[in-house]
């Protein structure tokens, strides 16, 4: 089932062009996506599996590591020495370990004139160096693969990474580090906890790259959701429910843009997995002098001038803690040119381990709570007011539209029902 949702998600134009990068603000109809969108547009008609790899190389900071931190690590490698017990001779070096030397002579393990001595040597076989070499190899393989597919059209950052990684792998010091073919959790952890900041950075980057190499499609796309924080990008794992929420959001955006023919959003701002922004994630022009705002995971209480009944219960009692207004997953707000407002909730429901029909019945009951709590924002004749978006193969009968139902249940597999609900709920098409 989840793989079906992922297939739908990958096929969504809004997911490919907006939710996947999920990084830029768009003002005046033009996206400030610059290099990232140029790169994505070149991949869109090619193998979609390269999108995650390419995005990670472009925004992951690997080029900065190779330019700034790797040279310092190589300098440290050239000067680092450790105390080690080694075989020397015939000249005496370091501090001889006569006990081990005599044992070696008597057992035949040491040739005459050879000794075991504790001396200072350059060590390249420590775990953090092995992690460093593995990172360089992974970066080289990934960037070369993309260059083979795109050639001169590849993003400049990918070309930079390819050149710097190849140059580093040709360095005699890096070549002297054992190529073990794979790394253990202990090796990565040793790098992440090393004294040198460059090793710590290498360990974190390697862990990220290895996460992207997951063979199964589900893991691959879970790691394809980005979090943008102060210009830094990092991957975050997504649960099945979060994937389904992204599918719902992408579908809603597609419906507004394509099915309702509103065109591309005039503004777009999205942080998948965070609630750091209180404004809409997307704004569309409604073609009649108004706008349609799309809010994701934000309480619509700000649309009311007074506290909700739910919040008032907490305000009037002691010992209940702090009452936070409930929030639908998606809230659509159409503001007409005369400032009249129409609001439509899209509540996304995934049963999980619970029996699907029982879970959906509970969700319907919860939706009636929304109707009571936020009733002041709807007019009596608006229909529907709430949409339950579910994975079940269910949908409204014609009578649901005829009677002007407040609540309708639509299936993720029946997009036409969602189109009808959004058209009616936001007052398009004469409704």
In angstroms, rounded to a whole number, what is the distance separating the alpha carbons of residues 229 and 231?
Answer: 5
Summarised one tens digit per residue, pLDDT across range 394-430 is 889 999 898 889 999 999 889 999 999 999 999 998 7
Summarised one tens digit per residue, pLDDT across range 159-191 is 999 999 999 999 888 888 877 777 777 788 888
Whether the full predicted model's pTM is greater than 0.75, yes or no, is no
DSSP H or E run through 231: none
Q: What is the DSSP letter of 87?
A: E
In angstroms, rounded to a whole number, what is the distance separating the alpha carbons of residues 182 and 114?
Answer: 35
Q: Give pLDDT, residue 410.
A: 94
Which single residue is written with the structure tokens 């109707």? 371
* Sheet containing 115-121: order of strands: 82-88, 115-121, 95-96
Both tokens of 205, joined, read 């980057």
80-94, 190-204, 205-219, 369-383 — which is least confidently predicted? 205-219
Query: Residue 48: pLDDT above 60?
Result: no
Summarised one tens digit per residue, pLDDT across range 100-122 is 888 877 777 777 878 787 765 55
Q: Give pLDDT, residue 290.
A: 95
What are the φ/ψ torsions at residue 366 (nearest 5 degrees)?
A: -65, -40
Structural domain boundaries in the chain: 34-66+127-224, 81-121, 241-425
In angstroms, rounded to a whole number, what is the distance separating the alpha carbons of residues 404 and 389?
Answer: 18
Q: What percent of the chain has pLDDT over 90?
A: 22
Both tokens of 290, joined, read 């108004």
Q: Helices 156-169 and 70-79: crossing angle, nearest 10°?
A: 10
Q: Give pLDDT, residue 259.
A: 92
Query: Residue 25: pLDDT above 60?
Result: no
Mean pLDDT, rounded, for 15-40: 43
In angstroms, rounded to a whole number, what is the distance separating the alpha carbons of residues 221 and 20?
Answer: 10
At 247, is the pLDDT very low, low, confident or very high (cuts 50, 70, 90)? confident
At 219, is the pLDDT very low, low, confident or very high (cuts 50, 70, 90)? very low
Q: Give pLDDT, residue 212.
A: 62
Query: Residue 84: pLDDT above 90?
Result: no
Which single residue is written with the structure tokens 């719902």? 248
Query: Residue 6: pLDDT above 70?
Result: no
Summarised one tens digit per residue, pLDDT across range 339-393 is 999 999 999 887 655 566 677 788 888 889 889 888 888 998 999 999 999 888 7
Q: Give pLDDT, residue 82.
A: 55
In angstroms, rounded to a whole number, what is the distance separating the alpha carbons of residues 271 and 226?
Answer: 8
Under a CB-based contact definition with an 8 Å cutoff, are residues 248 and 344 in contact?
Answer: no
Mean pLDDT, rounded, for 77-88: 65
What are the φ/ψ torsions at residue 15 (nearest 5 degrees)?
A: -70, -45
In angstroms, rounded to a whole number, what is the distance separating the alpha carbons of residues 394 and 413?
Answer: 9
């Amino acid at each position: 089932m989840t793989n079906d949702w992922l297939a739908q998600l990958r096929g969504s134009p809004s997911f490919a062009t907006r939710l996947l990068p999920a990084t830029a603000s768009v003002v005046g109809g033009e996206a400030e996506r610059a290099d990232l969108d140029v790169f994505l547009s070149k991949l869109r008609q090619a193998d979609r599996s390269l999108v995650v790899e390419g995005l990670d190389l472009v925004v992951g900071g690997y080029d900065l590591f190779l330019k700034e931190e790797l040279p310092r690590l190589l300098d440290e490698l050239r000067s680092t020495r450790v105390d080690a017990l080694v075989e020397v001779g015939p000249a005496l070096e370091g501090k001889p370990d006569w006990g081990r030397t005599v044992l070696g002579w008597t057992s035949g393990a040491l040739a005459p004139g050879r000794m075991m001595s504790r001396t200072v040597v350059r060590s390249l076989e420590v775990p953090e160096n092995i992690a460093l070499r593995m990172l360089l190899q992974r970066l080289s393989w990934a960037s070369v693969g993309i260059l083979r597919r795109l050639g001169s059209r590849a993003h400049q950052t990918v070309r930079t990474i390819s050149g710097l990684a190849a140059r580093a792998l040709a360095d005699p010091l890096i070549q002297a580090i054992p190529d073990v073919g794979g790394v253990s959790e202990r090796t990565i952890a040793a790098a992440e906890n090393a004294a040198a900041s460059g090793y710590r950075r290498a360990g974190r980057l390697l862990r990220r790259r290895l996460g992207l190499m997951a063979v199964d499609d589900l893991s691959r796309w879970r790691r394809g959701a980005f979090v943008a924080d102060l210009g830094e990008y990092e991957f975050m794992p997504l649960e099945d429910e979060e994937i389904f929420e992204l599918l719902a959001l992408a579908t809603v955006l597609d419906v507004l843009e394509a099915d309702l023919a509103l065109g591309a959003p005039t503004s777009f701002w999205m942080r998948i997995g965070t609630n750091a922004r209180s404004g809409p994630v997307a704004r569309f022009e409604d073609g009649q002098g108004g706008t349609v705002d799309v809010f994701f995971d934000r309480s619509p209480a700000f649309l009311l001038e007074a506290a909700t009944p739910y919040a008032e219960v907490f305000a009037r009692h002691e010992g209940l803690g702090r009452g936070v207004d409930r929030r639908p997953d998606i809230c659509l707000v159409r503001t007409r040119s005369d400032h009249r407002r129409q609001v439509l909730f899209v509540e996304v429901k995934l049963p999980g381990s619970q029996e699907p029909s029982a879970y959906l019945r509970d969700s319907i009951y919860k939706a009636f709570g929304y109707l009571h709590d936020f009733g002041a924002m709807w007019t009596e004749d608006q229909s529907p007011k709430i949409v339950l978006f579910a994975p079940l193969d269910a949908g409204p009968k014609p009578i649901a539209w005829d009677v002007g139902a407040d609540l309708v249940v639509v299936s993720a597999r029946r997009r036409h029902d969602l189109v009808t609900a959004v058209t009616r709920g936001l007052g398009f098409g004469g409704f």
